Structure 1
């Protein structure tokens, strides 16, 4: 790197010139200011954190000095690996930065390059730690509070500390993130070799099939890694077992039957799976937080709720999530479970009361007789005393409540992590829905197939007899709250690509279409699906 010495080329920078340049960082009239300092001040003027940082250190460089070689190398090394994380590498183009170093000739060039490096550094810190996108701008159902690094804090690292260690420390630490990075690289290599081969023809393959369609199925499963190389042309037990492994990894009923749904998933192109991985990497960055040594993990696309203890799954149950219609899709956020309510009453949400029940009550005041009509003071009102016909959704003054019972919409227990969206986990009397493959039927809350066992597992952390503790409350027949002595983090997430127990990738359908929106936004931000981005 060569710079033409301009130390002797100082000249006064007048107050008038400061105002003209509108840098907001004026020097005293008559002060001798180097072209380097001027260019730094001007280049940094539109970003307060950078401007304040350089002004506080009298515009001393952190990247372009001879003594900054190690710091430069640490940043260049991180930026060179940005593509591995599915980041928009053109945002902090390492090749262009390196070329700018080679091309710099003047102190003005050096000052502008100094700020350019700092901008790239802050962009990378933001993207690798917190994600490229702002979730709520993509879909209103993603209400996650994303962790952010204060730019001033990130800049302070440049004047002290190990930059390479810092850059490594802000990468998401969840094991799934590193596995997704590896899965992306494996899939890229597979795509470079031609992907998984031709699609399997036909709408389904019968259990006794033989011939070309079986060969096509066999070859595709081999390419995907679900089957060892074989020469069979028959749909034998080995091939059926491979189909079952594929089904399990894709959220399908593992019956070994190649029906239309299974074949449709088998024929999904690797480029489409790459989209899921890139979105999953971004989602992992959005949840780059301490998730809790014990936490509840509800993956909406997987239709499951799990208890995770120190990284290991200790309980799992099927779940039902919100319907794929506006205002009923389950949101994504993290909170803390504080207590469970045994024998809960159901306070019918206002939207359900006015949109679903009020029209029925206008036709028949005795409709929905299992629900009580309650006034603003909590008193139960005799239906015969109410003229439902004179009310609208806007002025209906009553609420509705279902007392505890076996037929209660919330079942026998609900699990509370109070939040503004009134979302919680609960039991349900509608058990047949858990047999469905796609389970999106609720108004937004999460229904559990094994809620009582879920409650036992949570209480086991604070009781030697969790089953007895739960059963005593249940047997009372009365609504009772059982507090959790230690609150348990709850994460409602939406991953269509995630590693299984042994690291192999699992894929799920984009039931709400959210991943498609995120992927399009990533493309707009400069992320590409594969190959070199430079």
Structure 2
């Protein structure tokens, strides 16, 4: 009996030794066996799904293509560093929320189950489960492809989500090439890191997201009770709560004070700082609007940052070393050179009924003393009713009608038109307003040709730039300091000195000027970002685009959960 026992012990040790050897470098038959299992699984897959473990997995064409190109050889098994790189991938997948992504659809639970199973079996042919390894390999590759796609171009397509309001030229990411590179280089971390947007604005917002998650983990900030408006110099028991609230969000240096109920000094300065970074009037008083923003939960702010990280993934990787960026939600324009803001000004954007769209263009020319051509919608809804009510409206407001066609371009006399029957569709010409101080385009417009007929322009309605929320245009962007912007754009064209620029701005006839150096223009929509001083900014959502995106992401998350249906559900469960 002792001899038999000793032989069994030796045999057991031999098996364990062989398993360790194969674990470090599996034999060719073992590797081929796994490849055959992968080929069989993919061969039995439907056009869109493959059954792995207990789940039906959406099968990306890229995954099928990837394995076919490598003769179905495993990716995460077979090389000495494969297990290590699989662990690195799992770390990235578990940390997806750090980029504002959700991890649904990665099948992390099933992957962990199979990894544990494979580790328990070992890699020796006697103990080896090739099917489990094949399933695990496909799951890891699928998760890599899905995460790489989400990280580089986002989780939803804005062109479909905001039909007609958003035209994003999404980055083209070859996820198969990325997976190949990760496999060949043995650097999963480096490849995935490079797929995320590289701009500092993305990285800084990502960092702020982690800071706010820490606040969430300790229970969030306190809610400031309602009451009378807090004004400088007053006293109120709520000031102590306000101090704690502002300290937690980083607006106040210290939560304690000698007189905790006194609204004076550092707490007022902290409120002003809070108001500035939330787009509020920085008057230092805590009124209804400021209180409402103070009492938004940390979870709301986290969600807001997640949505805007998603939006950053929709932007081109390179915005241009020199570009103009208009943030519609912030009602602001910036001119950026080599990452530095060289000009900043307020703008007026479209109303909630005539929203300014999001897209990128290339500004190529300016037009001084422009005519304003009345768009069909405004003609139908606004101008025609006014003209019918007052036939002197056209002359009094410097309008003329230019025929669409015909040998003559002379204006059509208003008496030639039957105004009672006229519609925007049947109107015989272009209704336009002559250049002058009455013209809604002001003295100059900035053209980046596009089929949406959107451009930047001056405005005679100067008082609107003093409003905090500036949604008053019909879609185009009105800029506060149009003359300064024109001067900047023409500064490398010596013929355009200050005198010539002044004459062009005040001319009575239009003049087009081609830019020697065209400039990229990006119309964007960010309700959360980190500014050039490292301060996180939040804005309201004038077009309710945050809500639309949040709903879409929630629906996608729920759909990802539903696709992990179990076998008996997929095949049909026959009841008793």
Query: Given the two structures, how large is their TM-score scaled by the length of structure 1?
Result: 0.87
Which of the numbers 145, 162, 167 marks the counterpart of 2:169?
145
Q: Which deviates more from structure 2 when the two are superposed, residues 83-92 or residues 517-526?
A: 517-526
- Cα distance between partner residues in 2 of 1:207 and 1:129: 48
Q: Secondary structure at the match of 2:381?
A: helix
1:445 equivalent among 473, 476, 483: 476
Equivalent of residue 506 in structure 1, options 526, 532, 537: 537
Deviation of the 1:319 alpha carbon: 0.6
Does the 8 Å contact 1:353/1:399 carry over to 2? no
Matched residue, 1:342? 368
Range 416-425 or range 255-264, more displaced: 255-264
Contact 1:130 1:285 in 2 (8 A): yes
Q: 1:66 aligns with which of 79, 82, 86?
A: 79
How far apart, CA to CA, are the structure 2 residues paired with 1:93 and 1:466? 64
Structure 1 residue ranges, 4+ long, deviating more than 6 angstroms after superposition: 1-6, 8-11
- The equivalences for 1:50-449 within 5 A come to 50-67=63-80, 68-69=82-83, 71-94=85-108, 96-104=110-118, 106-140=129-163, 141-158=165-182, 160-161=184-185, 162-202=187-227, 204-229=229-254, 230-231=256-257, 232=259, 233-325=261-353, 328-369=354-395, 370-377=398-405, 378-449=409-480
Is the CA contact 2:326–2:333 (under 8 Å) kept in the aligned structure 1? Answer: yes
Which whole-Å CA distance do the structure 2 matches of 1:454 and 1:524 have between them? 43
Q: Which protein has the larger Cα radius of gyration, Structure 1 or Structure 2?
A: 2
CA distance in structure 2 between the partners assigned to 1:238 and 1:70 by the alignment:
51
> Using the alignment, how far apart are the partners of 1:136 and 1:199 within structure 2?
40
- Aligned pair count reads 504
Alpha-carbon shift at residue 380 of structure 1 (Å): 1.3
Shift of 1:5: 9.2
Cα drift, residue 178 of structure 1: 1.0
Q: Report the Cα distance in structure 1 between the residues aligned to 2:318 and 2:65, rounded to whole angstroms.
A: 31
CA contact (8 A) 2:205 2:529 kept: yes
In the alignment, the residues of structure 2 paired with residue 294 and residue 44 of structure 1 have an alpha-carbon distance, to the nearest angstrom, of 49
> For 1:482 and 1:395, how far apart are their aligned partners in 2?
33
For residues 109 and 535 of structure 2, the distance between their equivalents in structure 1, rounded to whole angstroms, comes to 34
Separation in 1, partners of 2:32, 2:319 = 54
Deviating more after overlay: 400-409 vs 473-482: 473-482
Match in the other structure for 1:532: none
| Structure 2 CA distance for aligned equivalents of residues 525 and 72 of structure 1 | 26
Alpha-carbon distance, 1:155 to partner:
4.3
The answer to whether the Cα contact below 8 Å between 1:129 and 1:288 also exists between their aligned partners in 2 is no
CA contact (8 A) 1:126 1:148 kept: no
Specify the alignment match of 2:123 in structure 1: none
**1:90 aligned counterpart, secondary structure:** coil
Report Cα offsets for 1:321-348 as digits up to 9, x if no partner.
Answer: 11112xx011111111111111111111
TM-score between the two structures when normalised by the length of structure 2: 0.81
Distance in structure 1 (CA, Å) of the matches to 2:231 and 2:250:
22
Describe the superposition over 1:211-232 as per-residue Cα deviations: whole angstroms up to 9, x where unpaired: 2133332332222222232323
- Correspondence for 1:484: 515
**Aligned-pair CA distance for 1:73:** 4.2
Change over 3 Å in CA distance of 1:464–1:75 after alignment to 2: farther
CA RMSD of aligned residues (A): 2.7
Q: Offset of 1:372 from its aligned partner?
A: 1.0
Match of 1:28 in 2: none
Kept in 2: contact 1:357–1:368 (CA 8 A): no
Q: Tell me the residue number matched to 1:30.
A: none
